[in-house]
């Protein structure tokens, strides 16, 4: 993975040096490329790279050099890579982290050393409130708000008894907290699973015993695939409907889950069928470059690149952190999800939509947008932020 990052770096710098005299601005990307979560980081990286390629090696008219390293979903490894990028490579703009536990160990080092961190995914609650930082921007969402939208949607759909499950780590706790915040019914069961768990049979039995009228679960990546399939095999599909936030039902998960996902209610801030010019441009370029359905991780990677592009454009390519910060805060870019602005803790304020898993034209399940759940939704931690 190092080699690939290196080669990519060399290729990018060659392309840049032959075409432009100006030294490219280095952007460091620490992301998860190996292991079961690997496809999440791959989509973020590919989308970010796509945005650079679409400008011919530049972002906001400024030549950039993207350095990618794999954290392997290990917080310690993420921290080490960050240190190297900050000290050895002198990078001032960093991005890429997928998982909140890696972010938890890595982001404080980055922002405290005076570099910018622009998150394309993970946004744990502890960085959103009192510990918000002027160098820390989140493009995706605050962890809780993903799941608040699911809670609101479950309430809208009239469910009264929910059984909720998530892995036992920061984002899992944020998920259950978020869901409960806007769900008006009762929570009849609350289970923390393991982040490395593959067999959910005991949880299925507990769900059956509790007899809820809706199940909410947050299991990103491969975990979600196993969960959904075992849900079907346990005979729960069709009996107890599921309301999910986007990470538990991204397009890759759906492909691997197959029919077991049909009928699930999903909430998300973006879907591939969104009808706005920025998204159409993105979808067209993505399909041409990679020929697979992008996950919402890809949309966030792309938006992150656009946000950084807007800041670089404003500073004219100078990697001057205070100037970049001011420009970035304006969120002067066309997000593929439509309306987008930052709240005062530099986390997004955006709309949330309801999606439904349906059979697509080729029989494989797809996500279809069916309505809006929340408008201009920020997060509850913003009020504790002193920025």
Partner 1 sequence: MTLVLEQLLNGLQFGVMLFLLAAGLTLIFGIMGVINLAHGSLYMVGAYASAFAAAQTGSVWLALLAGLAGAAIAGMVVEIVVLRRLYARNHLDQVLATFALILIFNQGVTILFGRQPLFVSVPPALNGSVQLLPGLTYPVYRLAIIAVGLLVALGLYLLINRTRIGMLVRAGATHREMVRALGVDIRLLYTAVFGLGALLAGLAGLMAGPILAVQVGMGEQILIMTFVVVVIGGVGSIRGAFFGALIVGLVDTSLRAFMPGLLRHVMTGPEADALGAGLASMGIYLLMAIVLLVRPKGLFPAHV
Residue ranges that bind partner 1, judged by CB under 8 A: 33-36, 38-39, 42, 168, 173, 176, 190-194, 196, 198-199, 201-203, 205-206, 208-209, 222-223, 225-226, 229-230, 233-235, 252-253, 255-258, 292
Q: Which is nearer to partner 1, 146 or 226 (CB)?
A: 226
User: CB of 33: closest distance to partner 1 in angstroms?
Assistant: 8
User: CB of 239: closest distance to partner 1 in angstroms?
Assistant: 11
Q: Which is nearer to partner 1, 226 or 266 (CB)?
A: 226
E strand segments, 80-195: 93-95, 116-119, 136-138, 161-167, 186-193
Q: Which is nearer to partner 1, 12 or 226 (CB)?
A: 226
**Across the beta sheet with 93-95, what order do the strands follow?**
58-59, 62-70, 25-31, 93-95, 116-119, 136-138
User: CB of 348: closest distance to partner 1 in angstroms?
Assistant: 27
Q: How far apart are the C-alpha atoms of 16 and 42, rounded to whole Å?
A: 23
User: CB of 150: closest distance to partner 1 in angstroms?
Assistant: 18
Q: 365-382 burial string, b = 16+ CB within 10 Å, else e?
A: bbbbbeeebbeebbbbbb
Q: Which is nearer to partner 1, 170 or 346 (CB)?
A: 170
Q: Which is nearer to partner 1, 22 or 168 (CB)?
A: 168
E strand or H helix that includes residue 371 = strand 365-377
First CA to last CA across the chain, in angstroms?
A: 37
User: CB of 195: closest distance to partner 1 in angstroms?
Assistant: 9
User: CB of 238: closest distance to partner 1 in angstroms?
Assistant: 12
Q: Which is nearer to partner 1, 235 or 371 (CB)?
A: 235
Q: Which is nearer to partner 1, 8 or 192 (CB)?
A: 192
- Contacting residues for 31 by C-beta, under 8 A, at least 6 apart: 41, 44, 45, 68, 69, 70, 71, 96, 97, 98
User: CB of 114: closest distance to partner 1 in angstroms?
Assistant: 34
Rg of the chain (C-alpha set): 20
Q: How far apart are the C-alpha atoms of 271 and 295, rounded to whole Å?
A: 8
Q: How far apart are the C-alpha atoms of 226 and 261, rounded to whole Å?
A: 11
Q: How far apart are the C-alpha atoms of 92 and 312, rounded to whole Å?
A: 12
Q: How far apart are the C-alpha atoms of 253 and 178, rounded to whole Å?
A: 22
Retrieve residue 169's tokens: 């780590």
């Amino acid at each position: 993975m190092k080699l690939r990052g290196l080669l990519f770096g060399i290729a990018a710098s060659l392309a840049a040096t032959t075409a432009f005299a100006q030294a490219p601005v280095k952007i460091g990307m620490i992301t998860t490329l190996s292991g079961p979560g690997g496809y999440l980081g791959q989509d973020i990286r590919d989308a970010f790279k796509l945005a650079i390629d679409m400008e011919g090696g530049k972002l906001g008219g400024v030549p950039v050099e993207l350095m990618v390293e794999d954290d392997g979903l290990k917080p310690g490894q993420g921290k080490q890579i960050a240190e190297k990028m900050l000290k050895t490579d002198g990078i001032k703009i960093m991005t890429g982290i997928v998982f909140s536990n890696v972010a938890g160990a890595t982001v404080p080092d980055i922002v405290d050393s005076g570099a910018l961190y622009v998150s394309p995914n993970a946004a744990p609650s502890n960085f959103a409130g009192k510990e918000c930082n002027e160098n820390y921007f989140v493009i995706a969402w605050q962890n809780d708000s993903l799941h608040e939208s699911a809670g609101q949607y479950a309430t809208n759909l009239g469910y009264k008894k929910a059984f909720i499950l998530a892995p036992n780590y920061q984002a899992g706790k944020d998920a259950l907290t978020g869901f409960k915040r806007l769900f008006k019914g009762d929570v009849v069961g609350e289970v923390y699973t393991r982040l490395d768990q593959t067999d959910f049979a005991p949880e299925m039995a507990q769900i059956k015993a509790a007899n809820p009228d809706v199940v909410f679960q947050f299991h990103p990546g491969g975990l979600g695939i196993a969960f959904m399939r075992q849900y079907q095999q346990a005979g729960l599909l069709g009996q107890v409907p599921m309301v999910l936030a986007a990470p538990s039902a991204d397009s890759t998960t759906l492909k691997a889950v197959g029919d077991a996902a049909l009928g699930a209610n999903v909430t998300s801030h973006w879907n591939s069928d969104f009808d706005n010019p920025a998204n159409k441009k993105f979808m067209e370029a993505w399909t041409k470059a990679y020929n697979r359905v992008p996950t919402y991780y890809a949309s966030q990677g792309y938006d992150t690149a656009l946000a950084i592009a807007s800041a670089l454009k404003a500073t004219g390519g100078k990697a001057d952190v205070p100037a970049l910060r001011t420009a970035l805060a304006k969120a002067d870019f066309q997000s593929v999800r439509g309306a987008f602005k930052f709240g005062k803790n530099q986390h997004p304020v955006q709309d949330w939509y309801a999606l439904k898993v349906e059979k697509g034209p080729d029989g494989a399940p797809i996500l279809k947008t069916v309505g809006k759940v929340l408008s201009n939704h920020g997060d509850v931690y913003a009020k504790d932020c002193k920025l």
